[in-house]
Amino acid sequence: MKQKSNGLPKKTKYSKLDKFQLIKKTKRKSYIIKKLKALIEVNSLINSSLNKDIVLKNILDHTKAIMNCTKSSILLVEPESNELKFAVLTNEEEQKQLKDIRLKMGEGIAGTVWRQGTPLLIRDATKDRRFSAKADKKTEYRTTSIVAVPLVVNGKIIGVMEAINKLNLSPFNRFDMEIMQNLALQAAVAIENAKLYELAITDGLTRLFIHRYFQKRLEEEMNRSFRYGSDLSIVMADIDFFKRLNDNYGHLAGDEILIRTAELIKKNCRSSDIACRYGGEELSIILPEADLKGAVFFADKLRSIIEKMVVNFLERELRITISLGVASLKEDQPKSKADFISMADQALYHSKNSGRNKVTAFNAIK
C-alpha cells in the first residue's frame, strides 16, 4: 500500500562531497559578489579628485586591495622619450628607487602589453622570457606572478597597470585578469580627466600652475591653517633684469629662461608645495606646513641654485639671478588673502630695491 504524501517537500540528502562542493560554490559566489561591489565602489572613489597624483594613488590603493596583491603600479607613456615610466607605485620608497627606470615598447611585461595592446597574465615571471628584472634589481624584490593590462583612452594606449604577487602566494587567474581589466577601464578615464584638468590649470610655457589656481589654493590653504593651527608661508620671486634680457636676446631667450627657471623650482619643491606663474616673469610658491625660518631657507636655496644655472641659447651662455620675498601666516598675521600676498610682494620689492639676487622676509622690513 502506497504511503500518502503529506504535501511537504522531501528532504534532499547530500553526501559529504556534495556538501563540500556546495560550500565551495557558495564561497565562490560570495567572493565574486564582493569583488563586483568593490568595482562599483571604486569608480566613485578614484573619481573623487581631479588632482593627478591623488587620482593615481587612489587607483593603486584600491587595485592592491581588490586584487589582494602585495604591490601594484601604474606606468605611463612619457611623450618626450616615448617610453614607459613608473608614474606611481604603492610603496613610496620604491617610487624613489624606480624614478629613473624607463621601458621601451616591447621591453618587459609592461612594454609587451603596450606593444600588443592586450592584457597579460603571467603565472611565473621567472620562467617568462619577456620579463624584465630591472625593477626587481633596484628594489631587491622577487616578482613571481603578474597581471598587466593596458590603459586605453580613445583607442590610444596611455600606459600600463600592473598587479604583482598575490598575498596568498598563489598565481593570478583568469578571473583576476577580468577584474583588473575592469579596473583599468575606470582608471584610464580618471587619469585622462585629471590630465585635462591639469592642462586647464597649468601655464602652457612653464608648466607651473596659473594665477587663478594660485588664488584658489592659497585661500584653501589659509582656511586649513586657521582651522588646524598649522604653518603656512608664501614666496614671491621675480627674475632680475628680465626686460633687459628680452631686449638684448629676444623673447625666445626669455621663454627659455622662464622654462629652465620653472624646472628648477619644481625640482626643488616638496610634493605638497604649489609652484605658480603669478604673471610675466613673476613666480609664486605656496608652502604648506612651512614656518618663516623654513620658507626663508627654501627661498635662499632656490636663489643659490638659479644663480648657478647656465642656459645655452644660440651659442651663448645666459645667466640670471632672482629676487625673492617671503611672508608667513603666523609671523605676519595678514588680515586677508590679499594682505598676505601684499606682504610677500613688499618683501620681494625690498629685495629688488636693495641690490637684487637676495631673499627678504616681510617681518624684516616692518
- Residues assigned a catalytic role: 281
User: What whole-number distance in Å separates Cα of residue 48 and Cα of residue 190?
Assistant: 9
User: What whole-number distance in Å separates Cα of residue 337 and Cα of residue 232?
Assistant: 12
Backbone phi, psi, residue 27, to 5°: -65, -40
3-state DSSP assignment of residue 4: coil
Tell me which H or E stretch contains 228: helix 211-228
**Cβ atoms 77, 114 nearer than 8 A:** yes
> Where do the DSSP E strands lie in the chain?
69-78, 83-89, 102-103, 120-122, 146-153, 156-166, 232-239, 274-279, 282-288, 311-313, 316-318, 322-328, 359-361
User: What whole-number distance in Å separates Cα of residue 302 and Cα of residue 321?
Assistant: 10
User: What whole-number distance in Å separates Cα of residue 289 and Cα of residue 275?
Assistant: 15
